[in-house]
Structures are given as structure tokens and as C-alpha cells.
Structure 1
Amino acid sequence: MKTRLQIGATSCKICFDEYAWSFCVTSKDTTTALKPGAIGKPLVRLGNYPFLALPAFYIIVPLKISKHKIMKIFISTLISLFLIYQASWSQVASTSQKANDLLKEYVQLREVLGVSAGIYKDGKLVWKGGAGHLNPERQKPVNSEMLHRSASITKSMTAVAIMQLYEQKKLRLNDPIQKYLPWFPTKKKGVITVKHLLQNSSGITAYQSRAEARNQKNFPTLRDAINVFKDRELAHKPGTAFRYTTYGYVVLGAIIESVSGMRYRDYMKKNVWDKAGMSHTDVEIYGKKYANKPGLYTKNAKGEFIKDDDTNLSLKIPGGGVQCTAEDLLKFGQAVLDHKLIKASTLDLMMQDPKLPKSWSPYGMGLFLYSGKDAPSGRVIGHNGSQSGTATQLFIFLDKKVVISVMANTGRAWIAVSSLANELGQLVIDAPLQSTVESLWKIIRTKGGKAAEAWLGKSGASFSEGQINNLGYYFFRRGRIQGAIETFKLYVKMYPKSWNAYDSLGEAYLKAGNKALAIQNYRKSIELNPKNTQGIKVLKTLQHK
């Protein structure tokens, strides 16, 4: 936004750049620029409060301009700045109101119990807020300053730390991990490198039981945690497929300790969290009471919020054991954007897509690659997280200079949280975001299956079998059976030759009590795959009832 005032041979131009002010004075005798990057060196940098610049303006104006003209310019400038400030404040207030309303909407939809979130644009905090409650009894509201588990967003932090050591030539990405951890067993299926761990292509398996996923034991060191899985066989040859695993990042944490000579927590605090200004970020200590932290909840099959397991995160600290605030996540994203933690060339390396089989979304090194430079929203990277009592999302819009963070105290709510982050992004980005499974979820959730089908036809969006099936079961496990049915119907339409699509739809109809349609879909599934033993078993049971 620009305003120009002309008084004789003297003019004053005031520019407003969303959240920063600047102006310059021009006469036939001289030009004085009060804007970084304008004529001459920056003389004054105006902050969020334009009136702070007026004394400096009055002093710097050349003496060849009469006092009478100076007073006219001063008064006119004051009025113009007030009008511009009023308009800009209205814009900021509108964004804040819309963002607050979005948070309340997701709470009212009962998708999250409590949520904290924030937006950075051009390196500045545009908005932060919170909605919902710490517990179902509504004893205390959630605000933007709450501590939350960052869950798997910790992986991005760990990856950045590894790449710092790479920049310092203290490790090489293609080195076998035994070079840094000689006690880690070699594997029959191949050599695991540092890069394989970063790309989730090492073949190291994920949790083998509920007891592991919901760990209650304490592991004093990362090596103690690694002992849980280090002797297991790999799922595949390293580097040949994508297999998401938190355990691979625990190994990376141990490599950080080996190479740096520091404990993981100490290294991260000194080289990542403090450098990014993340003053509220730390490893979660099991059993410690935190004054400003909500309880851990999830939803049962009836759609009720219930207490989730208070898990011990010492089994997976570098892959999901860090806690922070929503604004600290913004600061991390901004530090990545500003190359405070790693070089631009290093970030580019992390963003290379290895295009591995079985990847449900493009994944670089510790970062999901949500969209490329040709997308309307430009390049978008980040990470999501989901664990006991927690769902999180971090989006970094590299080309738009925007960072979005959302953190909820609700387990298994990752699609809702990612959808919320998408919508917050649309408030500050002048381009539509990439069509995502989260967009499809929101349409099914609020408008139904027919609207979703129409949106798919119009947008041209496409989803893999895994994505659409996971979305259906996201509804299913959260007690929204009609949403699951609508999703699985879309699955059948997209993949009419998939036996699994009909199997999933049959299960949803069975849960809804529609025996006839359950039988019909299980029959079709078995026709397409005669080896669907579970489907055959269910069908026999239904036919004998």
C-alpha cells in the first residue's frame, strides 16, 4: 500500500509493506530516504509503531525546506500514517479473527480437545492463539503458550543436527553407520548408511507391539533404547524402499552423540534450539509435572474424549521425545527458512526426493516434501506428528516466506490437525494450497460424500490406495462410521479392481449394521482376491447369522 502527499516541490511517500512502515521525503533540492534498500543507506527502520519515526523524520528533513512546509508535511504525514495504520490494523485484526474462528471450529467439530497454533510471515509473528481445553471437564482453556509434545516433528530437528555435522565434515552421508556406532550389528540384507536413516529407507522396522508403541519403561541412554531393536532383521535391503520408522532416528541421535562428543539433549540445545530462539523446547522427562502442559487425550469409537496413555518417550527421544510451544515450532521453521541452522545448499540436499517405492508422500531427509516450486503455494516442506495424546503439524512455505504450526493434545487427530494448518495457511498466502488428503477429509466431514466426489472431479486431485484407505480408517477409528463409508465408496470408485477397497467398505457397512451391503462388498472383495482369508471368514460368519 502506498500514499503520496505533494506540497509544492516537496513530496512525501509513505509505503506500507504488510507489517513494516517506511517513507521518504523528496524536494527539488534533495531526497532523504527512510527505507532500507532505498536511496542511500538506511537511516531509520520503522517498526510496528509509525509514530516512533516522526521525530527522526523531522530532524532528517533538509534545512533548505521551510519550517512552514515541514509542519505541513509533518501534519499530513501524521494523518496519512494514522489512516494507513488503521487500515493495516484492520487487516491484521481480520486475519487474527479468522484464525481464532478456525481453531474454535475444529474444537466445536470435536476433532481436537485443545489446540495451540501460530503463523509467521516474512519473519514476523502474524498471529498465535489457542482454543479448547486441557481436559474434557473443561477446567482450564488451552492457550498459545501451552507446552505440547512435538511428536515426529522432532525428526526434522534431529535431521538438521545431522546436517550441521555434515557441513562441518564430521560425518559423511554415505558412510556405514558402524563407522560411528561400531557396536551396531551388521545386517544380512545390506549396509545401512546415514542417508538411509534420514530418508526412512534403512529397513529398520517400526514398533513390534503395543507395549513398544506405548512404552512405559525408562531407557537412561540412547544405546539402551537401541538395544530394543538393533538385533532384528531388516524389512528390506537398505535404500530400496520407504519404511517410516522412529527407531531409525534414535540411531541418528546416537550418531550425533558419537560424532559431537555431547549428549543428544545438550547438542540440540546448544546448536539447534538456542540458535533458533526456542526457549521453551526440551526433552520431555517422564513423570515430571509441567505447569503449562495439557493432559493427553484421544477419542474412542463412540467419539468421546478419553485419557490416553502417558507414555515414556525415552525409547524414542530423537524421533519423537521433544516438547515445545507452537511459537517455538514457528521459530524452528523460520530458522530453517533463514538458513540460521544450515546452509541453503544443505537444505536443498535435504529436499531431494529419492522417489522410493511404498512412500505415501515424497520424503527427503527428515522432511516431507508437500509441494514443489510449480505449485500455486510454491515449495512447501515440513513434518507432522502423531503419538499418544498428541497431533502436530509444521508447514514451511519456502517461497511465500510463511511458517505454520499446529499442536493439539489429542491423539490420532493428525489429519484434522494437518487440515487446520492448511486452512491457516490460506489466510496469509495469496494462492490456493495443493490439493491434499486433508482437504478431502474436511469436505467429507462437513459436506458429505457427494460434495467430496464433486470436488475430486473439479480439482483433479488424485490419491494413492494407501492414502484413501488410511483416511477411511481415520474416520472409522474415531467413531465416524458414515464418514468411513463415504470415503471407502470413493475408494471403490477410484480403484474398482482393488479387492481391499471392497473389503474396507464391507467392514464399514458391517460396523454400521448394514448386513446386506456388508455381504455384497465382502463377496466382491473375495471375487477379486480369492486369498482374502479374513474376508472369507467374516463372510461365512455373516451368512450363518
Structure 2
Amino acid sequence: MLRLCLIFFSIYSFNFFPQSLNKKLDQYLTDYYINKDVPSVSAGLSYDGKIIWIGTRGFSDIENNVQAADKSVYRIASVSKVITAVAIMQLVEQGKLKLDEDIRKYIPYYPTKKWKFTVRQLLSHTAGIRNYKSTGEFESKEYFQSTKETISYLAKDSLQFEPGTKFLYTTLSYNLLAAVIENVSGIPFPDYLQNNIFLPAGMNSTYPDFQRDIIPFRVKGYERNKYRKIQNAALADLSIKIPGGGLLSSVEDLLKFSDSLLKGKLIKPSSLDSMIIPAKLKDGKSVNYGLGFAINMDKSGKKFMSHSGTGTGFSTLLLIYPEEKLASVHLINIRDRNLGEPAYDIAEIYFGNEVIKPKKSIADFLFNFSYEFGIDSALAIYQIIKKDTVNDFNTSKEELLLFGYDLLGIEKYYEAIKFFRLFTTEYPNYAEAFIGLGEAYYKDGNRGLALKSFRQAAKLQPANRYIINMINKLGE
């Protein structure tokens, strides 16, 4: 009888735990989708080689009313770097390249620079290669037909610093890693990924994001304009950054990739371990970035490796807890502020930790309310929201500051002054509130009150160069 009870209890527990976990994750994702007001979000969780949950909410194409699905394919932005880094480590294992060799050994057509730099330094963003020159380059419309053509475009640039002396995050540097892969393996970079990573990991929905290709279930990207309305993201040709920010994938595929990585299907465990050792600069300082992975620790002390991505119209995050054999991912088809980290929250829910319900943006709410009903009505309802025990809104001072700057962004100077005056009374020790008030007065043509506000800000942040420069400018 006791044995039967124990068997019943174990079966009941096995079935109950996943159901209760899925319910919590489903509710979290619904709350996130509604409160963050994103076009869509897709997220998932895997444990010990098994995908235990995937959820998707929203629309992959707002204009055509196409709902996002678990099979939807998102631009994964800089999460692409992890995949390129694993490809490099495969070739290291095969003895075809060495991490500490001069890069020109593997890309002889790359011109000699003032300093030599290595494959390792490219992987860890310490090689001195520049990042984007401008938003125009980030959202480049130019089509590059090959990796070599992209390298030729970048080859004319000087190094930003002596390799190994600084950390400078750059997506463009990963093009050089793709060139290394092509020259060492003898096949094009996309083909190498397909044959050596996507196929072995069972990733059937991961592709280079070539704008002209027809790709099934490709999601459209969005952004918000200065009126905080959702609009189509700018058109961008990602051929300038396929290896470092130009892959498309689904939640399921990224979980498969993570599980294959943890199980040693793509590279040896020792190679993975070497990827999550913090890079060291020549002065002995370490950075929280290894070979293609950021390295972090959660609030409970569990180590995880991760990579986030912010591309044209998309925001992404992949987390892998190697000791716990857990992976979590989120893909969102908008690039915006204060999106939080759903993938991290999802992992925390799995670990049984309390997670704060995603909150609505008080800045967006007040902006829309003031635009329709006026600033006085908006400030009145703000006072009501502050006292609301439901606490649905993010009412942090940082979030409120955004409201003031949103008003400045659409040249509502009178309204911005009204808000910032209230804001500085509520947060008299917050220098940014006085900077905002000074900006509002300055843009409204009142140099005297602008100067007074910046001087008050200087009392709180006397070393702030921007404040000092504005005081000097207004005091002329």
C-alpha cells in the first residue's frame, strides 16, 4: 500500500510541477505582452536537453493582422555572435586555427595595421576594430555580395586602440571571424553554419537575414516614433553584419542550439568552458565577456552565459545556465526602451524565485493622456496613479524622466516645464530632474530660469560635464 502511495505521489508530482510551471509562465508572458505593449513576444525554456515550454503572444505582421506563432522567425541581432563564436571554436578543435595567431595568417588579404591582433581578441571585442559610425551604417541599405566585399569596406579603417588594452563592443568585427571561417574551411560562411551547426543541432528555422530572400514565417520589425506610436522599423540590409548581428531564428531553434552546446554536440565541454572565461586586458583588468558570450551571475549566485541583441526592429536575449543545464530565450519584434529581460524572468520563475509582474509604462500613459486631454489632466491622473495600490505602472523616477523628455521631443515646452517643476519638487535630490527643467526652460527661450535650474543640478552633480558646459553657455 505504501509503495502504491509513493508511486502515485511521484506520478502526481511529475505531472503537477510542469503544469503549474507552464501556467505561471503563460501568465507571465500574457502580462508582459499586455503591459509592455509590444507587437509580439516569443519565449521559451529548456532543461537538460528537453524543451519544457514555449509561448508566443501578439502579431508578427501588424499591417496584415498575422499572428505570431511558436514557429515565427525573428531577427536575433547580436545573439548571432554566439553562433559565429561556436563555429570558430569548432575549427580550433580541429587544429585548423589558433586563437592567439595574428589574424592576417587566416585573412592574408586584410591589410597590415599599426598593431597585430588575434582571433581571440576579435571574439572578445578587444581587437580595436570600430563599431558603427552612425545610425545610417547601423541601418545600412547597402548590399554586400560576399564576406570579402564587407571586409574590403572595413579594411580602410584604422584600429581604435592597441589591441588588448581596451574593450570596445563591436558587431562589425565579427565579419573578420566569418572571413577566417571561410578561408580555413574553404566554404562560404552561411554554408559552414548550415552544415556544422544548424543541421547537427536540428535547427530547421535559422537563416542569414538576407533581405531579398523569401524566408518562411519571417517576422516584421517595429519601433516607436516621437509620439510613441508603433511604426515599421527602418529598412535595413543586414549583409554588412550577418556574422555579428544578421541571423534569423526561432525560440525553438535557439533552445536546440543551447542544448546541443551543453551536451557537447557542437564543441567539446572544455571548449565551452574556455568561452566563458572573462577576457583579460593588458593591464590585468577583466571584462565580463569571454569568447562570444557575456558572463554574469544571478542574484542567487548562479553563473550564466548570455547574449542580448538589439537590431533594427528587434530585441532579443539568450541565457544559458551551464551547471543547471537550463536555457531561456526571448525574441521581441520591436526595439524600444525599458523592455526588461523576459528571458531572465522566465529562468527565475523556473528556479522558484519571485518575479515582479511586468509593469506598464507611466511615461507612455501620461504622454498619450496629456496629448489627448492636456497636461493638467495628465498630472492630476498621475497623482491618482501614485496612490493606486494595484501598482500596475512603473512609476520610478527614471521612467517619469522619460515623460518629460518625450514632451520636449515634440516641442511641448510649456507642458514639459509644468511637469519638470512638479518633478523637481517630488525628487529634490535627483539632478536629472533639474537638468530636464533646465532643458525645458532653455528650449522655451528662458535662459535665466534655465541657468538657475542647471545651477541647482550642479549642486547635486558638481562633476557633470554637461551641466558645467550648459552653465558656461548660459552664463555668457
- CA–CA distance in structure 1, aligned partners of residues 289 and 157 of structure 2: 24
- CA–CA distance in structure 1, aligned partners of residues 286 and 406 of structure 2: 24
Give the match for residue 69 of structure 1.
Answer: none
Secondary structure at the counterpart of residue 244 of structure 2: helix
Shift of the alpha carbon at 1:141? 2.0
Superposed, which structure 2 residues align to 1:24-423 within 5 Å? 80=8, 84-137=10-63, 139-188=65-114, 190-356=115-281, 362-371=288-297, 376-412=300-336, 416=339, 419-423=341-345
Shift of the alpha carbon at 1:224? 0.8
Against the structure 1 CA distance between its residues 195 and 261, is the aligned structure 2 distance closer, same or farther, given a 3 Å change threshold? same
Shift of the alpha carbon at 1:84? 4.8
Secondary structure at the counterpart of residue 55 of structure 2: strand
Secondary structure at the counterpart of residue 207 of structure 1: coil
Select 1:536's aligned residue among 456, 470, 474.
470
Shift of the alpha carbon at 1:474? 11
Against the structure 1 CA distance between its residues 316 and 472, is the aligned structure 2 distance closer, same or farther, given a 3 Å change threshold? farther
Shift of the alpha carbon at 1:103? 1.8
Against the structure 1 CA distance between its residues 473 and 258, is the aligned structure 2 distance closer, same or farther, given a 3 Å change threshold? farther
The answer to whether the 8 Å contact 1:368/1:381 transfers is yes
- CA–CA distance in structure 1, aligned partners of residues 149 and 89 of structure 2: 24
Against the structure 1 CA distance between its residues 295 and 363, is the aligned structure 2 distance closer, same or farther, given a 3 Å change threshold? same
Gaps of 5+ in 1: 7-11, 15-79, 434-438, 448-467
Select 1:425's aligned residue among 311, 333, 347.
347
Secondary structure at the counterpart of residue 66 of structure 2: coil
Measured against aligned partners, the alpha-carbon deviations of 1:443-502 in whole angstroms (never above 9, x if no partner) come to 89589xxxxxxxxxxxxxxxxxxxx99x879957995999x99xx99xx99xx9xxxx94
The answer to whether the 8 Å contact 1:147/1:294 transfers is yes
Against the structure 1 CA distance between its residues 4 and 378, is the aligned structure 2 distance closer, same or farther, given a 3 Å change threshold? farther
Shift of the alpha carbon at 1:109? 1.9
Q: Residue 454 of structure 2 aligns to which amino acid in structure 1?
A: Y
The answer to whether the 8 Å contact 1:505/1:518 transfers is no
- CA–CA distance in structure 1, aligned partners of residues 186 and 53 of structure 2: 39
Shift of the alpha carbon at 1:529? 4.8
Shift of the alpha carbon at 1:347? 1.3
Shift of the alpha carbon at 1:211? 2.0
The answer to whether the 8 Å contact 1:226/1:247 transfers is no
The answer to whether the 8 Å contact 2:434/2:457 transfers is no
Q: Residue 147 of structure 1 aligns to which amino acid in structure 2?
A: V
Shift of the alpha carbon at 1:243? 0.2
Against the structure 1 CA distance between its residues 361 and 521, is the aligned structure 2 distance closer, same or farther, given a 3 Å change threshold? farther
Shift of the alpha carbon at 1:202? 0.8
The answer to whether the 8 Å contact 2:275/2:292 transfers is yes
Shift of the alpha carbon at 1:307? 0.7
87-96 vs 168-177, which deviates more?
A: 87-96
The answer to whether the 8 Å contact 1:223/1:254 transfers is yes
Identity %: 29
Select 1:506's aligned residue among 435, 454, 463.
435
Measured against aligned partners, the alpha-carbon deviations of 1:45-87 in whole angstroms (never above 9, x if no partner) come to xxxxxxxxxxxxxxxxxxxxxxxxxxxxxxxxxxx3xx65455
Shift of the alpha carbon at 1:236? 1.0
- CA–CA distance in structure 1, aligned partners of residues 400 and 145 of structure 2: 36
Measured against aligned partners, the alpha-carbon deviations of 1:150-171 in whole angstroms (never above 9, x if no partner) come to 1101100000110111111111
Q: Residue 416 of structure 1 aligns to which amino acid in structure 2?
A: L
TM-score scaled by length of structure 2? 0.78
277-286 vs 173-182, which deviates more?
A: 277-286
1:5 aligns with 2:12: no
- CA–CA distance in structure 2, aligned partners of residues 286 and 186 of structure 1: 33
Q: Residue 523 of structure 1 aligns to which amino acid in structure 2?
A: R
Shift of the alpha carbon at 1:524? 5.3
Q: Residue 427 of structure 1 aligns to which amino acid in structure 2?
A: I
The answer to whether the 8 Å contact 1:387/1:412 transfers is no
- CA–CA distance in structure 1, aligned partners of residues 264 and 67 of structure 2: 35
Measured against aligned partners, the alpha-carbon deviations of 1:220-255 in whole angstroms (never above 9, x if no partner) come to 101111222211111111011110001111110110
Secondary structure at the counterpart of residue 258 of structure 1: helix
The size of the alignment, in residue pairs, is 426
Against the structure 1 CA distance between its residues 96 and 219, is the aligned structure 2 distance closer, same or farther, given a 3 Å change threshold? same
Shift of the alpha carbon at 1:186? 1.9
Shift of the alpha carbon at 1:343? 1.2
Against the structure 1 CA distance between its residues 536 and 341, is the aligned structure 2 distance closer, same or farther, given a 3 Å change threshold? same
The answer to whether the 8 Å contact 2:140/2:238 transfers is yes
The answer to whether the 8 Å contact 1:303/1:480 transfers is no
Q: Residue 195 of structure 2 aligns to which amino acid in structure 1?
A: K
- CA–CA distance in structure 2, aligned partners of residues 474 and 119 of structure 1: 34
Give the match for residue 67 of structure 1.
Answer: none
Gaps of 5+ in 2: 364-395, 409-415
Q: Taking CA–CA contacts closer than 8 Å with sequence separation of 6 or more, which of the two structures ends up with the larger relative contact order?
A: 2
Question: Which one has the largest radius of gyration?
Answer: 1
The answer to whether the 8 Å contact 1:119/1:330 transfers is yes
What is the RMSD computed on CA atoms of the aligned residues? Answer: 4.0
- CA–CA distance in structure 2, aligned partners of residues 407 and 508 of structure 1: 37
Against the structure 1 CA distance between its residues 269 and 225, is the aligned structure 2 distance closer, same or farther, given a 3 Å change threshold? same
